Amino acid sequence: MCGIIGILGHHEVAPILVESLKRLEYRGYDSAGIATVNQGRLERRRAVGKLANLSDLLVHEPLPGKAGIGHTRWATHGAATVGNAHPHMSGHVAVVHNGIIENFRELREELAAAGLLAETQTDTETVALLTRMYMDRGLAPREAAVATLKKLEGAFALLWIFEGEDDLMIAARRGSPLAIGHGTGEMYVGSDAIALAPLTDRIVYLEEGDYAFVTRAGVEIHDADGRRANRAEARIDLGATRVEKAGYKHFMAKEIAEQPVVLGDALAHYLPGDRINLPEGLDFAGLERLTLVACGTAFYACSVAKYWFEQIAGLPCEIDVASEFRYREPPLPANSYALFVSQSGETADTLAALRYCQEKVAKTVAVVNVATSSIARESDVALPILAGIEVGVASTKAFTCQLLVLAVLALKAGVDRGRLSPEDLAGHVAALRALPGLMNAAISASGPVAKLAERLAEAQDILFLGRGPMYPLALEGALKLKEISYIHAEGYASGELKHGPIALIDRSVPVIVLAPHDRLFDKTVSNMQEVMARHGKVLLISDAKGLAVASEGVWEALRMPEVAEPFAPILYAIPAQLLAYHTAIAKGTDVDQPRNLAKSVTVE
């Protein structure tokens, strides 16, 4: 969600802060601001909307200084206004914040009693006011920040600077990530490595509860109990953090086109030669259950994988939305695994669910795109999906790579549980290895999609239907469409149509049917006929066999390559993504940064 950057440098930091914030735009935001310390004086500039507005403001009202902090805000408490934008200042203190201070109302009352009144609607201002209160009582900045931390409840990443202190930043994390970057006589703080990549490749990640005193000479880290702590320095691949459109109009278009390549990379890693390459210690043989937990698109990836684990491996699965999982307090068999899927590896609800499961299950497994993320570090086993940086808010290549890794895990479970013969395994592996080529073919033959999308863009409501593992893909297709085109879309299991949703069918409602010619095809076609009998506009997405049998009378049809039945959702994600993309283009919406959404959801 929100993005943080901080710099103690030797050059004017305002332009560097803004450039770093641009690298965090993919996280989603609705206002931005920076603050600097210049010759001991603390000043800030803030603007609503895109970073271009902040850049324009800085042209007319420059902000000098070689030490500063910056922030892109995704509104939680209070509307997107200049007054609510970060950094927040009070007295000699400026602070930026990701996350939520859950007890800010109680703290406001305490502060009001001390004569410090809030001027904004935000929870973050409470942090600045508290720190000011402690400094007014005589505490030094370091002591005041630590005293403030002891009062806060919730999940947050915080970064302070202070008037009169041009060689000090104070950083703290509890539930929301922060990284410290080392330069030559310079130091940096960022909410992720992408923000720091142009500045340094030497990164230290703060652990849960850590706080740090950062000066140009280095960093002093303390753990949650106040003890000095050493955190390992990591080297990041600067090439892997490069964020470029590479000639594409949008990041989403680039990331859709990259899927054959990144899926091929993941296949080469997890299925080299004739073996499954997974970390030692993953043994599904005697497990009672597998629990899969995720949010959004990752949840739909888990929903597809449930079919694979149960059908291929005979392993009972439970899937849950992370935001509900831990509050249900579900009983978990000790002889079970819990698997957590997250693109960013920082999804707050998923991370909380992981922590709930620790010590309750035999093993926790993370499927993530960021190997250094909190979820990856706190799991017993972390499996990178190897998708590379995904900038578009609507996930594309991360989704298909998540599916690929989950499919490999299902094959491993099938082998461990004696459900897959060597011949069966070889057949499944061959089917997975064929996917990059099939994806290329599907993308290359996607010319008609743009024209189709122009007609879909006229609709107010769109339904997606699928059976078996294509049902979760129908949910994902509807999510993609609503995310970036703002058209109301819903996904349903085809067999559920007559149990309510069919009441929505008329001539104005397109119905997108995802139906490879598999063992469930005839059932899906029967449901499709029910739609057509009520004058519904059916877009049938199927292969040559399916279209030959069932395309007569449909509104439109899209032809897909033939694909092995279990793994059709990975391939059929392509038309679902392309339909959403081109419909958004036709509607003129912001494809990469749709309204109200954020890439990395680090609050509950």
Helix/strand/coil (H/E/C) assignment for every residue in 289-356: EEEEEECHHHHHHHHHHHHHHHHHHCCCEEEEEHHHHHHHCCCCCCCEEEEEEECCCCCHHHHHHHHH
- Peptide linkage before 87 cis (omega within 30 of 0): yes
Give the integer Cα–Cα distance in Å for 242 and 9: 22
Q: Which residues of 355-376 are buried (b: 16+ CB within 10 A; e: fewer)?
A: bbbeeebbbbbbbbbbebbbbb
Buried b (16+ CB within 10 A) or exposed e, 313-351: bebebbbbbbbebbeeebebeeebbbbbbbbbbbbbbbb
Q: Which residues is 294 bridged to in the sheet?
A: 321
Query: How is residue 504 annotated by DSSP?
Result: G
What is the spatial distance between Cα 525 and Cα 323, in angstroms, rounded to a whole number? Answer: 35
User: 352 CB contacts (<8 Å, ≥6 apart)?
Assistant: 175, 322, 326, 604
Candidate list 2, 295, 317, 401, residue with the active-site label: 2
Place of tokens 């942090």: 127
Catalytic residue among 412, 480, 537, 599: 599
The size of the chain, in residues, is: 604
Query: Which residues does residue 68 pair with via DSSP β-bridges, in sequence order?
Result: 7, 36
Contact present, 88 and 131 (Cβ < 8 Å) = no
177 neighbors 193 (Cβ within 8 angstroms): no
CA separation for the pair 1, 398 (Å, rounded): 17
Phi, psi of 51 (to 5 degrees): -60, -25
Told to judge if 2 belongs to the known catalytic residues of this protein, a careful annotator would answer: yes
CA dist., res. 24 & res. 598, Å (int) = 11
Chain CA centroid to CA 428, Å: 29
The residue to which tokens 């950083």 are assigned: 171
Q: From CA 134, how far away is CA 209, in angstroms rounded?
A: 21
Residue 11 has which token pair? 């050059």
3-class SS at 234? strand
CA 440 to CA 574: how far, in whole Å? 10
Structure tokens belonging to residue 122 = 């935000």
State in Å, rounded, how far the first CA of the chain is from the last one.
11
Cα separation of 544 and 162, whole Å? 67
599 is a catalytic site residue: yes
Cα three-residue angle 405-407-413, rounded to 5 degrees: 105
* Cα separation, 24 vs 177, whole angstroms: 14
Query: The tokens 């990591």 sit on which residue?
Result: 234
Q: Name beta bridge partners: 123.
A: none
Instruction: Indicate the SS3 state at residue 151.
Output: helix
Would you name the residues annotated as active-site residues? 2, 599
